[in-house]
Amino acid sequence: MRASVAVKSILSGPEQQLYGRLVRAFPGHVILAQVALPRFLIGDQASGASLDSSPDRPAALVADFVICRPDFTAVAVVELTAAAASCGARSDRRPQQDELLRASGIKVLRIDAGDIPNEQALKALIAALPVQVPAPPIRRVS
């Protein structure tokens, strides 16, 4: 007996709207959706920033949208807050996710799904976010 399988949209209506606006607001950039943090963050186990796959670790964290340079280096993450609010476990991980992203120098913008800014406002909001330059790793010299 064959399993019944159907195709559904990868992005919700508000996510599709935001995606379109991000693409128009950031020409020359690559916009990725639903990206697991370990795809673009490297953890240092010595510092406690492990990116293993246990349920409470960053591997379980997913960024709604990642704005990348043409070389696919992440520069900002945009999250829809109301769309994710229905998922309690995900909302519990937001502070951890934001801390990891900011520590790596990636800007984080949270947007309410019911009030998605236009392209000009998105550009201004991302530009206004402070950038934290990550501290260089400390290496032992023998």
In the predicted model, is pLDDT for residue 2 greater than 80? yes
Task: Compare 46 and 3 and report the one with higher pLDDT.
Answer: 3
Pairwise pLDDT comparison (118 vs 48), residue with the higher score: 118
Query: Residues 115-142: what's their mean pLDDT?
Result: 79
pTM of the complete model: 0.77
Residue 2 backbone phi and psi in degrees, to 5: -90, 140
One-letter amino acid at 131 equals: V
Least confident of 12-26, 42-56, 61-75: 42-56
Q: What does the alpha-carbon distance between residue 36 and residue 17 come to, in Å, rounded to a whole number?
A: 21
Q: What value does the mean pLDDT take over residues 26-48?
A: 84
pLDDT category, 53, cuts 50, 70, 90?
very low
Q: Determine the residue type at 103.
A: A
Please tell me the distance from the alpha carbon of residue 107 to that of residue 76, in angstroms, as a whole number.
4
- State the first-to-last Cα distance of the chain, in angstroms, to the nearest integer: 63
Over residues 67-108, the pLDDT tens digits come to 999 999 999 999 998 744 444 445 566 788 888 898 899 999
Instruction: Pick the more confident residue, 6 or 52.
Output: 6
Token pair of 97, please? 């996710």
Alpha-helix runs per DSSP H in 1-142: 13-25, 81-85, 88-103, 119-128
Between residues 84 and 43, which one has the greater pLDDT? 43
